């Protein structure tokens, strides 16, 4: 069953094919109204259920529009409103939804719950963000970098701040897609060691934000307080020196770009002058969630 749970588990050739497909689908529907189906809709009659345990703007809307453009339809389910929220098991929920819909996208607190869902489902399951990773986001980010730079091979990406779920999916992608990644994270906020070991020499970790950004083609930030983090005040204090400022950006290559998955907190993890400035690609990045999600749905369902 082609579950889309983590980039580390998906063959590099498949990831590359999905990125190429996303770019081709984006080009093929240029000029069409956003709600119009693709010229050659790939998934007519297919239904995607989306389960949300946490808030979402981009993931929810991009997947909804994605399945529509592919000729299918979607259901949005808040976990708290389902029997899941009253204690029905993940295993039973997965088996029941497998009888009604063709694929499920889940945004969950605990990564293990998405894995358990996939193990009990007879249909593809997509990770729409967990505490552990955010693979759909990184597909859109890599597509954005391909559009801007032409290729990913040899690019140097710098992640600055919390070594969180989004950072983990960049780490998973680096050895597969040929870019180098340096994470600049304070002590205690680094990524999981097993992810670093698996990634090998493509990924490096430092506590020095300036060293991480030096000579980078791409500088990436994310919120200092992720959904589910309880220790917001401490995180803001510890991570404050890792704000992506114009001064920090100046250490990157002159043509460097800035990415952020959004939602952003101007003045915390990034200066407004950076995220709203000429180096920022954040709204192309947000738009590309749509095109990348379409390629993921096709990979799961075709």
Q: Which residues bind ligand CP (CB under 6 A)?
A: 56-59, 129, 137, 261-262
Look up residue 227 and give its DSSP letter.
T
Instruction: Give the nearest distance from C-beta 57 to ligand CP in angstroms.
Output: 3
Nearer Cβ to ligand CP (42/79):
79
Q: Which does 165 bind (CB under 5 to 8 A by kind): ligand NVA, ligand CP, none?
A: ligand NVA
Within 10 angstroms of residue 148's Cβ, the number of other Cβ atoms is: 16
Check 172, 260, 289, 291 and give the catalytic one.
Answer: 289
The answer to whether 271 touches 288, Cβ cutoff 8 Å, is no
* Nearest-angstrom CA–CA distance, 92 and 96: 6
200-259 residues in contact with ligand NVA (CB under 6 A) are: 222-223, 226-227
| 132 assigned to active site | no
SS3 assignment, position 127: strand
| 289 assigned to active site | yes
Check 3, 29, 46, 134 and give the catalytic one.
Answer: 134
62, 144, 146, 164: residue in contact with ligand NVA (rule CB under 6 A): 164
Give the strand order in the sheet containing 180-184.
203-206, 180-184, 156-160, 218-221, 257-260
Check 217, 222, 279, 293 and give the catalytic one.
Answer: 222
Q: Which does 57 bind (CB under 5 to 8 A by kind): ligand NVA, ligand CP, none?
A: ligand CP
Taken in order 146, 115, 187, 277, the sign of the CA dihedral is: positive
Taken in order 22, 23, 28, 34, the sign of the CA dihedral is: positive
Give the residue numbers annotated as catalytic, written as ranges: 107, 134, 137, 222, 261, 289
Binding site for ligand NVA (CB under 6 A): 129, 164-166, 222-223, 226-227, 261
């Amino acid at each position: 069953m082609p579950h889309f749970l983590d980039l580390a588990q998906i063959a590099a050739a498949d990831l590359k094919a999905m990125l190429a497909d996303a770019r081709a689908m984006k080009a093929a529907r240029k000029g069409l109204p956003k709600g119009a189906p693709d010229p050659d809709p790939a998934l007519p009659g297919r239904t995607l259920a989306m389960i949300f345990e946490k808030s979402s703007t981009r993931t929810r809307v991009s997947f909804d529009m994605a399945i529509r453009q592919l000729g299918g339809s979607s259901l949005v389910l808040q976990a708290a409103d389902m029997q899941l929220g009253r204690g029905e098991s993940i295993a039973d929920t997965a088996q029941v939804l497998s009888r009604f819909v063709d694929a499920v996208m889940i945004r969950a607190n605990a990564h293990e719950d998405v894995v358990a869902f996939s193990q009990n489902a007879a249909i593809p399951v997509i990770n729409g963000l967990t505490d552990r990773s955010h693979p759909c986001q990184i597909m859109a980010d890599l597509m954005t970098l391909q559009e801007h730079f032409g290729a990913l091979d040899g690019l140097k990406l710098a992640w600055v701040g919390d070594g969180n779920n989004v950072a983990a999916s960049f780490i998973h992608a680096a050895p597969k897609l040929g870019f180098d990644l340096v994470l600049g994270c304070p002590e205690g906020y680094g990524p999981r060691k097993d992810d670093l070991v698996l990634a090998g020499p493509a990924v490096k970790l430092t506590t020095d934000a300036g060293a991480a950004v030096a000579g980078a083609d791409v500088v990436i930030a994310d919120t200092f307080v992720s959904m589910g983090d309880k220790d917001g005040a401490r995180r803001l204090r510890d991570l404050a020196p890792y704000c992506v400022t114009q001064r920090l950006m100046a250490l990157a290559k002159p043509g460097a770009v800035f990415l952020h998955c959004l939602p952003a907190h101007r003045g915390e993890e990034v200066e407004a002058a950076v995220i709203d400035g000429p180096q920022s690609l954040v709204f192309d990045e947000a738009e590309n969630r749509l095109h990348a999600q379409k390629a993921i749905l096709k990979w799961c369902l075709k």
